[in-house]
Amino acid sequence: MFELTKEQIKKFEKIVFVTGAGISQESGVPTFRGNNGLWRNYDSMKLATIDAFYGNPKLVWEWYNERRQNIFQAKPNEGHLAIAELENYADVAILTQNIDGLHQKSGSKKVLELHGSIIKIKCTVCDFKNEILEEISEIPPKCNCGNILRPDVVWFGEALDQEVWQNAVILAGECDLMIIVGTSLVVSPANTLPIYAKQNSAYLIEINPENTEMSPRMDLTIKNTSAISLPQLVSIYKKL
Ligand code: APR
């Protein structure tokens, strides 16, 4: 599966994972594209926008509440756990588009959440930010300043947190192995991260049961699920 020699692997000093919804699929968290892209017959691509939120904040909050409840019950799978274990053997950073916190739950330490977090909340007007500590019963929730609170996530058309993004670009540009797992690589700017890695002549591996538009640009494509593939990478490191 990982057709790499021990010598090749030993040369990789900095590993960066770029992860997407597919890595959490085996934890029971649905992906965005493909068969599971609907919620109550709404297209999730259309709900994840600032216009949808201001048009119907109650509906969008219901969607996030339901997803948060599902995510709270979800457990990291063998794929998340393998990445966390790999940190014992190599310098690992994770640049994730996921908002589910499952990398952190599995024990990974260096995780950059490019699209925010479903357990965080922020005010639509003032600087208030917090973690969601208990179930939100009254929706949409209100800030002490009187304005509506929103999930602290990045919606379509919104800019990423600049500090998080700058750090992600630096890590991508410095790594010598990038492993791209469970992402369709269709959403910008996250889908440019492999390009930054390639500029540093990094080796690119994609783990995805399906092809993506960037598959032909990979050095190695593993057409299998992350929960099956990633533990095999850890086994290789254990035997080095
Ligand atoms: N293991 C690995 N990959 C998988 C698995 C699995 N078990 N199951 C599905 N996949 C792959 C799919 O083939 C697909 O290419 O995961 C990918 C999931 O793609 P998307 O649903 O498009 O998710 P993602 O790439 O994370 O979406 C990016 O778009 O909707 C926005 O902000 C949202 O962060 C999200 C962004």
pLDDT in tens, 161-220: 999 999 999 999 999 999 999 999 999 999 999 999 999 999 999 999 999 999 999 999
Q: Which residue owns the Cα nearest ligand 1 atom 7?
A: 225
Question: Which residue numbers are catalytic?
Answer: 115
User: What is the CATH classification number for the domain harbouring 82?
Assistant: 3.40.50.1220
Shared domain check, 121 and 4: no
Which atom of ligand 1 lies nearest, measured to the CA of 31? Answer: 21
Shared domain check, 124 and 170: no
Structural domain ending residue among the three candidates 99, 132, 153? 153
Ligand 1 centroid, distance to 10 Cα (angstroms): 29
Nearest-10 Cα torsion for 155, 157, 162, 165: 80
In angstroms, rounded to a whole number, what is the distance separating the alpha carbons of residues 108 and 98? 14
Give the whole-number percent of the chain exceeding pLDDT 90.
86
Shared domain check, 140 and 40: yes
The pLDDT score that the predictor gives to residue 32 is 86
What domain range is 44 assigned to? 30-73+117-153
Shared domain check, 168 and 66: no
Task: Please indicate whether residue 28 or residue 135 has the higher confidence score (pLDDT).
Answer: 28
In angstroms, rounded to a whole number, what is the distance separating the alpha carbons of residues 102 and 74? 8
pTM: 0.96
Ligand 1 centroid, distance to 35 Cα (angstroms): 11
The pLDDT score that the predictor gives to residue 45 is 86
How many helices and strands in the chain, by DSSP H and E?
10, 11
Q: State mean pLDDT over 137-160.
A: 95
Q: Which residue owns the Cα nearest ligand 1 atom 36?
A: 187
Shared domain check, 94 and 14: yes
Shared domain check, 240 and 171: yes
The pLDDT score that the predictor gives to residue 36 is 60
Contact by Cβ (8 Å): 39, 47? yes
Shared domain check, 107 and 125: no
Q: State mean pLDDT over 51-71.
A: 95
The pLDDT score that the predictor gives to residue 134 is 84
Q: Is 122 helix (H, G, I), strand (E, B) or coil?
A: strand
Shared domain check, 212 and 122: no
In angstroms, rounded to a whole number, what is the distance separating the alpha carbons of residues 34 and 161? 27
User: What is the CATH classification number for the domain harbouring 68?
Assistant: 3.30.1600.10
The pLDDT score that the predictor gives to residue 115 is 98
The pLDDT score that the predictor gives to residue 225 is 98
Ligand 1 centroid, distance to 190 Cα (angstroms): 12
In angstroms, rounded to a whole number, what is the distance separating the alpha carbons of residues 38 and 232? 33
Contact by Cβ (8 Å): 97, 115? yes
